[in-house]
A and B are shown apart, each in its own frame.
Chain A
Amino acid sequence: MADKTTIHGMVGDFDSPDQLMDAIRAARKAGYTKLEAYTPFPIHGIDDAMGAKPSILGYIVVCCGAVGLTIAILLQWWTGAVAYPLVISGKPMFAFEFAIPIIFELTVLLSAFGAVFGMFALNGLPKLHHPLFNYSGAEGITDDRFVLVIEAGDHQFDAAGTREFLLAQGAAKTELIEE
């Protein structure tokens, strides 16, 4: 048996999203705190069940958008009114009337960068390896399996007891996975 420090946790592998949800609720009730669920698609209400905090991505996106907005205004004002002023079809050197389209585009562009790269950063991606891939049934997670991992760092973790607990929740399969 592997040493406890190199153990990542106990996998409980479930057949359906509803079973997984019930298992998560039961685990939280039983006092487990270090849980992670792995599913092939997002499950409605799982964040509430896990007690997860809402994503902070929205704030990242707003900041990026504000940067885009500022860049667009400065770019158009500086190039048109300061660096290279030239009267074209009687239009002012700078005016919001004609600056709005590019202000909008750059705000959206930078916001989208914030949303995509922010999401990857919050999720710790790209990542070369993760203990979950040591699980013998890991490929089922992107197909039709619903997996709950109770991590070894949990103060209530005990390999035999945790296995018992997961089986009692209806796990079709359990497995101890290493770091």
Chain B
Amino acid sequence: MAQLTHDQELKDKLSAPLAYGNPNFHDVTEAVSIISEVKTHRNWYIALAITGSITGMMGLMIAYLIVTGVGVWGNNAPVGWGWDITNFVFWIGIGHAGTLISAILFLFRQKWRTSINRFAEAMTLFAVACAAIYPGIHVGRPWRAYWLFPIPNEFLDMWQNFRSPLLWDVFAVSTYGTVSALFWYVGLVPDLATFRDRAKTKARKLSFAIASLGWRGSATHWKNYEKAYMILAGLSTPLVLSVHTIVSFDFATSILPGWHTTIFPPYFVAGAIFSGFAMVVTLMVIARWIYKVEHLVTMTHLENMNKVILATGCIVGYAYATEFFIAWYSGNPYESYVFFVSRATGPYWWAYWSMVTCNVISPQFFWFKKLRTNIPFMFVISIIVNIGMWFERFVIIATSLHRDFLPSSWGYFRPTFVDIFTFIGTFGLFLTLFVFFTRFLPIIAIGEVKGMMAANAHEEHYLDEAVAASQGKEPVGAAH
């Protein structure tokens, strides 16, 4: 018996288990579908009331902004970009983990991505929705926001300036939102068919029948579907890199010290993935507990996400270090000033050191298995990381702008209550969308989890053989 447990431990170490117990295909359907099929719980309405009122507060703030003007924010010379762009970059970054999980980990055949990808993709969409608010309201006259797109218009005989990185951003973010929504929907179709086939009421049956487009799961369907999924993953991978790359171009094409540095593109991408994974951990820890899917979203999933957080945290640390080193190595007084004075010791020192503590130091705890498999601990760290990543964007924007080249143009950014409540409001929107998502849609990719289980059945014998061989024994069932 002890031998058996020991062998199982070794097998788990070689290939960490992705499902607890041994659920069969039907159990998976049941566990995920039931979430949306049971009668709406009172707590759900309470949750919706809370998140909905926060969203409503954001609506009020935006209405006030539109009626009064952008002056209600703390933005002013010299800090012309304040919390609006900080929050925009923050939310866009959060979204990146969803695409990473659905596309990049798919291409790398990382099986643990199933059972968290649906959730993470939803997060992408909701985060992009929150991010998209900011450029829309920052243009000053939001009713003219469609001028961002190259549509001929009757008022001005002119065209968009394609030399501006801000316009690249419009294309990048709208492409990203569209492709993510399509990718998400394609993944949903077979599961919506499952919901359709299980529906008890007419209304439910009809709505899921329409949403699943008549999906039958024939071999022909799956053939084209898998090809489409592979292609979308192949397209989304460079796409997700491009989005934060282009966001980084907003800063790095300028000649402002602290903004203009060539490592910005990959550094922004790594930071985005870092913050996004932290957000997935925060939300997943709560969701798997509320919806009782701990057997599908296991400790292995959480631990792997924490490893990604550690890895991307180190990349971000590498980028900080490189920036500092090159600022010194260049011998350029402006570069040195912005890093060694404006950031590390100037009026924003507290923001800078909060950022370093949260982003570089806090993930280092995940070197220890005990800590990265401890749920309350990872929950706290995941929130700290997101605080750190918010500070990163704030530090980049505020420290580089607040001391202009002329000391007479120095200033200090303070957010107004509109800044603060709008930002809090975006969390309301983000969570409201989640509250709806978890109530009505399959929060775990049912079909994909089953496919992964079928593949795992074939994998067992490799593990048995490896463990037996390490003990110098003939493997059980070696005749196979």
Does chain A touch chain B in the assembled complex, meaning CB atoms less than 8 Å apart?
yes
The answer to whether A102 touches B217 (Cβ under 8 A) is: no
The answer to whether B159 touches A79 (Cβ under 8 A) is: yes
Q: A91-B163, A115-B232, A116-B232 are in contact. Are A43 and B223 (CB under 8 A)?
A: no
The answer to whether A58 touches B162 (Cβ under 8 A) is: no
- A37 surroundings in chain B (CB, below 8 A): 218-219
Rounded to whole angstroms, the CA-CA distance of A61 and B234 in the bound complex is 12
Is there a chain A Cβ closer than 8 Å to B415's Cβ?
A: no
- B447 surroundings in chain A (CB, below 8 A): 40-42
Q: Convert B177-200 into 0s and 1s, putting 1 for each residue whose CB lies closer than 8 angstroms to a CB of A.
A: 011001101100010011011100
The answer to whether A115 touches B218 (Cβ under 8 A) is: no
> Which positions in B face A, CB cutoff 8 Å?
24-26, 29, 150, 157-165, 167-168, 171-172, 175, 178-179, 182-183, 185-186, 190, 193-194, 196-198, 210, 213-228, 231-232, 235-236, 238-239, 242, 246, 249, 446-448, 450-451, 454-455
Q: Convert A115-139 into 0s and 1s, putting 1 for each residue whose CB lies closer than 8 angstroms to a CB of B.
A: 1101110110111111011000011
The answer to whether A79 touches B160 (Cβ under 8 A) is: yes
The answer to whether A144 touches B228 (Cβ under 8 A) is: no
- B25 surroundings in chain A (CB, below 8 A): 40, 143-144
Q: Convert A27-44 into 0s and 1s, putting 1 for each residue whose CB lies closer than 8 angstroms to a CB of B.
A: 000000000111111111
- A139 surroundings in chain B (CB, below 8 A): 197-198
Rounded to whole Å, the gap between the CB of A71 and the closest CB of chain B is: 10
Cross-chain contact of B224 among A55, A86, A99 (Cβ < 8 A): A55
- B454 surroundings in chain A (CB, below 8 A): 17, 41, 43-44
Q: A105-B171, A108-B242, A129-B214 are in contact. List 16 more A-B contacts (CB 8 A).
A: A17-B454, A36-B220, A41-B222, A41-B454, A52-B220, A55-B223, A101-B172, A104-B238, A112-B182, A116-B185, A126-B214, A128-B214, A138-B197, A141-B217, A143-B198, A144-B29
The answer to whether B450 touches A141 (Cβ under 8 A) is: no
The answer to whether B219 touches A52 (Cβ under 8 A) is: yes
Interface centre among A99, A105, A141 (most CB of B within 10 A): A105
> Which positions in A face B, CB cutoff 8 Å?
17, 36-44, 46-47, 50, 52, 54-55, 57-58, 61, 75-76, 79-80, 83-84, 86, 88-89, 91, 98-99, 101-102, 104-106, 108-109, 111-113, 115-116, 118-120, 122-123, 125-130, 132-133, 138-139, 141-144
> Can you list 23 A-B pairs with a CB-CB distance of less than 8 A?
A36-B219, A37-B218, A40-B217, A41-B451, A46-B219, A58-B227, A79-B162, A80-B159, A83-B159, A86-B161, A98-B162, A101-B249, A102-B162, A106-B175, A111-B235, A112-B182, A112-B183, A120-B213, A123-B221, A128-B214, A129-B214, A141-B216, A143-B197
Rounded to whole Å, the gap between the CB of A10 and the closest CB of chain B is: 16
Nearest 10 CB-CB pairings of A with B = A139-B197, A144-B25, A119-B228, A127-B214, A126-B213, A79-B159, A41-B451, A42-B222, A142-B194, A55-B227
- A38 surroundings in chain B (CB, below 8 A): 216-219
Rounded to whole angstroms, the CA-CA distance of A113 and B422 in the bound complex is 34
Rounded to whole angstroms, the CA-CA distance of A86 and B161 in the bound complex is 9
- B165 surroundings in chain A (CB, below 8 A): 101
Rounded to whole Å, the gap between the CB of B408 and the closest CB of chain A is: 25
Cross-chain contact of B178 among A79, A112, A120 (Cβ < 8 A): A112
Rounded to whole angstroms, the CA-CA distance of A138 and B212 in the bound complex is 15
The answer to whether A119 touches B227 (Cβ under 8 A) is: yes
Interface centre among B175, B178, B185, B193 (most CB of A within 10 A): B175
The answer to whether B222 touches A46 (Cβ under 8 A) is: yes
> In the complex, how many residue pairs between chain A and chain B have their CB atoms under 8 Å apart?
187
Q: A41-B448, A139-B198 are in contact. Are A57 and B217 (CB under 8 A)?
A: no
Rounded to whole angstroms, the CA-CA distance of A46 and B220 in the bound complex is 10
- B239 surroundings in chain A (CB, below 8 A): 105, 108
The answer to whether B193 touches A142 (Cβ under 8 A) is: yes
Rounded to whole angstroms, the CA-CA distance of A20 and B402 in the bound complex is 68
- A89 surroundings in chain B (CB, below 8 A): 163
Rounded to whole Å, the gap between the CB of B101 and the closest CB of chain A is: 18
Cross-chain contact of B175 among A36, A43, A88, A105 (Cβ < 8 A): A105
The answer to whether A111 touches B231 (Cβ under 8 A) is: yes
Q: Across the two chains, which residue of chain A brings its CB closest to B448?
A: A41
Q: Across the two chains, which residue of chain A brings its CB closest to B221?
A: A123
Q: Across the two chains, which residue of chain B brings its CB closest to A62?
A: B231
Rounded to whole Å, the gap between the CB of B181 and the closest CB of chain A is: 10
